Structure 1
């Protein structure tokens, strides 16, 4: 279709309120003629928006409607009525869809009910090859996505047995002792720290047709990470009541242009008071340029008021020529200031090749509990500008480091006990997974490890009380 036809097609799918303005209008075409047309309208000074994605033939691929409606006096539709609305919408755009797709499951979410229509092979859904439809309580379609499958995967003629897999895991199973910031229904907003054993490998997916059990089809390149402890600072952080602007380095000629509610955090954006957009560009690049150019962005905890991260997109110049060692001192001084007494819980990750350029020196710090037990997935990053001696980027921990002082230093459950608990609960389920490594088959049939009763993955075993902790997919 021509661009004008695609635009008219998009406007015919959903009514755009008169106070909405176009933010993105992008046409993408690949080498083989495939591509998409993207449209995004927003109501300024609000979080309301409507987005539509079409393929270049005008078929609806995605729809998202986010509107803030006042309380409605209409009687909410029941689930069956909402499902009927969902199927009517699907068949309007894809009349033959239900010949291939089957209703698989529905989920009650915060503001709508979500219906999944999947392509089933062996009674199992093919991931990313179906349809998802969100319907609000009034029967309005507020979300839609459709992915068409070209070829069905080949069904294996031979499957290995679960007994083979269990025997294989018995000989390979190991556990990593670490601390996790775990969220559960009974925890506070930021969760709580727990000393746990994590089974290795965590992603236990095995090709179902291998004559010999083959390790996960998801390969994470294991790179040995070298860290070194940080020396205790020669001074204590000054208990200065620094403002947010002072910590980040915001000058007086910048002002807040956006504050966004991010749930547990508030996103804040600053820009020069006299900044003006040069041209009206509705491309995706133009959108990101308008959102980011010459800005400083930060995320601030609502609970503590402390900055969790910030990033400078505005260039700052200077005449300094700090060495990497001097930049490291700047970074550790900053950490001691923003998180007093934190250096005892940090190890510097040593880069094989020093990360950074003449315009920045980047340092990554692994968090531990002071007794050698690492905190999973928690890395603090600080980027120092060697020309100015200023911090251009900071990403802090997701929890208060003071919690580490009360974290147990040693487990009470042994690895052998954890292994027995894990194996006593271990089972497997068949699943179709996207085969990102294969060149011929788009999907591969796998066995995924799960709990034999709950049928969900076992993520950790609590190293203090043997409790099973579930999660993942």
Structure 2
């Protein structure tokens, strides 16, 4: 397919309306598709990606930049422009698929169309278009239609499906950070909750189908965590930059706003030469000898890091020495770590591995936190911290949380049952299957009984 590269690239450039000053940074071709990315050299965060199939048919477009909508157009005109764009590349596509939804954001509007069967949309069919409010098409992806769909002869009884769910649902007491962007009525605060555990992810709508449990059964005993050892003042007297190998010679090469945090990328040494325009080469250049750091916007606290800086030599740091280094790093970031974290016991590791990974679980008054763990990776060649992933919940936010539930599991189950429902939906996995998909609260607040559902995306 490489002999078609110039022709495909020219077509992609035309489709993406690539400005003359943009530079090609990725040209990746295989037997199934061709993928091209151009970048604004003066504004590296602005890029345009175009994907074609092996026959040159347009698959997707992505324009990464912040549009300035000085002249916002009416939504009706935006939809008309979006459909004109689709018709230009796929005549009759708008008539072949059914309009599903319109999602409006601060910068753009997304229009989604899909193929229907039994008046229900088939996933991964049709297309979507994102259009800026000034009329610029920002994103497009064409999925096409389904060749065949198997229609059930008889549907399973809906009430019986609901009963099977409710008979086998279980709840686990834990602490969860209820984030606004993920859950309805979320407040970005930790809550003591009952997490629902369903016996099935979905239930076949065909009455002749057999429903198998999808929740894994764990016969093994849970690994017992250990309290953190006490570190001496001398062992706790460490410097963050020394632990992660950061020096004044590092250059900041990128910075990104990640919502509630800021991500920065630092490089040691000079930039590598670009070998080709393939995706592998692109990421090699972006990551070569870099240290990626993420910090909280408000407090500047370290939330994560990952090092791509290569270390020369053989792994000489023992597992015990690496664990001590991980503990030093944890105590540096969380001085009261022993009050909140418990440690997984060391596992026998292969000597040839160059890193040792450690997990520290957050617990509060004996209650585990659902996503409350810190992962720390130590390089066994030089003893540096080369990976860190902070817990989603900050330990100090737990101090005012009452660890004793006010409602029982049975009461939580009654609340859950009062709002639980199932909906018919097509599921795609090599072929289309009609299923009952549960609609339910993921969490029940263990203090006030409030039910939290996921936000619709």
Give the TM-score normalised by the residue count of structure 2. 0.90
- Cα 1:157–1:71, aligned 2, differ >3 Å: closer, same or farther? closer
- The residue that corresponds to 1:468 in the other structure is 451
Say if 1:6 and 1:56, in contact at 8 Å, map to a contact too.
Answer: no
Shift of 1:166: 2.3
2:399 to 402, 405, 421: 405
113-122 or 42-51, which moves further after superposition? 42-51
- Cα 1:47–1:459, aligned 2, differ >3 Å: closer, same or farther? same
352-361 or 151-160, which moves further after superposition? 352-361
Say if 1:159 and 1:210, in contact at 8 Å, map to a contact too.
Answer: yes
- Cα 1:355–1:149, aligned 2, differ >3 Å: closer, same or farther? farther
- The residue that corresponds to 1:326 in the other structure is 321
- The residue that corresponds to 2:124 in the other structure is 128
- Cα 1:189–1:400, aligned 2, differ >3 Å: closer, same or farther? farther
1:60 to 58, 61, 69: 58
259-268 or 289-298, which moves further after superposition? 259-268
Shift of 1:393: 1.1
Deviations 1:16-72 (A, max 9, x none): 22332111111121xxxxx11111111134421111111111111110123344452
Shift of 1:321: 2.6
- Equivalent position SS for 1:226: coil
- Equivalent position SS for 1:311: strand
Say if 1:367 and 1:375, in contact at 8 Å, map to a contact too.
Answer: yes
Say if 2:372 and 2:393, in contact at 8 Å, map to a contact too.
Answer: no
- The residue that corresponds to 1:340 in the other structure is 335
Shift of 1:461: 0.7
Shift of 1:322: 2.8
- The residue that corresponds to 1:253 in the other structure is 249
1:152 to 141, 148, 151: 148
Say if 1:232 and 1:344, in contact at 8 Å, map to a contact too.
Answer: no
- The residue that corresponds to 2:419 in the other structure is 425
Say if 1:320 and 1:389, in contact at 8 Å, map to a contact too.
Answer: no
Say if 2:292 and 2:307, in contact at 8 Å, map to a contact too.
Answer: yes
Shift of 1:215: 4.6
Shift of 1:333: 1.9
- Cα 1:325–1:296, aligned 2, differ >3 Å: closer, same or farther? same
Deviations 1:303-344 (A, max 9, x none): 111211111111224677332223212211210112111133
355-364 or 105-114, which moves further after superposition? 355-364
- The residue that corresponds to 1:377 in the other structure is 371
- The residue that corresponds to 1:195 in the other structure is 192
Distance, in Å, in 1 between the alignment partners of 2:351 and 2:199 is 32
Shift of 1:380: 1.3
Deviations 1:112-162 (A, max 9, x none): 110000111111111111201011112221110011234232011121112
- The residue that corresponds to 1:227 in the other structure is 224
1:445 aligns with 2:434: yes
205-214 or 180-189, which moves further after superposition? 180-189
Say if 1:255 and 1:270, in contact at 8 Å, map to a contact too.
Answer: yes
1:39-438 alignment to 2 at 5 Å? 39-44=36-41, 45-70=43-68, 72=70, 74=71, 76-184=72-180, 191-201=188-198, 204-211=201-208, 214-215=211-212, 224=220, 225-235=222-232, 245-246=241-242, 248-273=244-269, 275-317=270-312, 321-350=316-345, 354=349, 357-369=352-364, 371-435=365-429
Distance, in Å, in 1 between the alignment partners of 2:194 and 2:349 is 32
Say if 1:299 and 1:308, in contact at 8 Å, map to a contact too.
Answer: yes
Say if 1:330 and 1:389, in contact at 8 Å, map to a contact too.
Answer: yes
Say if 1:204 and 1:215, in contact at 8 Å, map to a contact too.
Answer: no
- Equivalent position SS for 2:88: helix
- For structure 2, the residue ranges without an aligned partner over 5 or more in a row are none
CA RMSD of aligned residues (A): 2.8
14-23 or 132-141, which moves further after superposition? 14-23
Distance, in Å, in 2 between the alignment partners of 1:181 and 1:418 is 19
- Equivalent position SS for 1:466: coil
1:17 to 14, 19, 26: 19
- Cα 1:256–1:140, aligned 2, differ >3 Å: closer, same or farther? closer
Say if 1:41 and 1:49, in contact at 8 Å, map to a contact too.
Answer: yes
Shift of 1:170: 3.1
Distance, in Å, in 1 between the alignment partners of 2:187 and 2:260 is 8
Say if 1:108 and 1:114, in contact at 8 Å, map to a contact too.
Answer: yes
Distance, in Å, in 1 between the alignment partners of 2:63 and 2:413 is 47
- Cα 1:319–1:127, aligned 2, differ >3 Å: closer, same or farther? closer
